[in-house]
Amino acid sequence: MNVSISGHHISVTEAMDTAVREKLEKVERHFDQIQSIQVILSLDNSGASDGGKKSHKAEAIMRVSGQEMFVQAYEDDMYKAINEMADKLDRQVRKYKTRQERKKTQGAGRDSRYQDLTPAEAVPAA
């Protein structure tokens, strides 16, 4: 799995890098077919003009075969944002994996309806 971590309006420290990689290990344990994950840590000042606090944002783009998943999290603390981002990504991965497993079982379920019948019985009556 290829993980790239970058910062926007913020320098990524070694501690932030370690925190992101540790949190993404949990995601990788649930789903091992991840091609790459791009994480962007940034300081978002959009709420600063109206008296709001500056907010830390963590966003991730994960690529699996045939699909991209995007999550973002805003928190007052960067480490809280990283945790929230990893949790959201983990939920998306589990949802994606469940959908893939359902597709596999649905296909097998349709064909197995007539398995116990002889060829003459398998033809539905008109």
Express each pLDDT in 82-118 by its tens digit.
999 999 999 999 999 898 888 888 765 555 555 565 6
Beta bridge partners of 71: 60
To the nearest whole number, what is the mean pLDDT of the chain? 84
Q: What is the pLDDT of residue 73?
A: 94
81 contacts 73 by C-beta, under 8 angstroms: yes
What's the pLDDT score for residue 63? 94
On the question of pLDDT at 35 being above 80, the answer is yes
How, if at all, do strands 67-75 and 55-64 pair?
antiparallel
CB distance 87 to 78 below 8 Å: no
pLDDT tens per residue across span 45-89: 765 555 567 689 999 999 998 889 999 999 999 999 999 999 999
89 Cβ partners below 8 Å, 6+ apart? 24, 27, 37, 60, 62, 69, 71
pLDDT at 70: 96
The model scores a pTM over 0.95:
no
Beta bridge partners of 37: 3, 62
Strand positions, DSSP E, the chain: 2-8, 34-44, 55-64, 67-75
pLDDT score at 50? 54
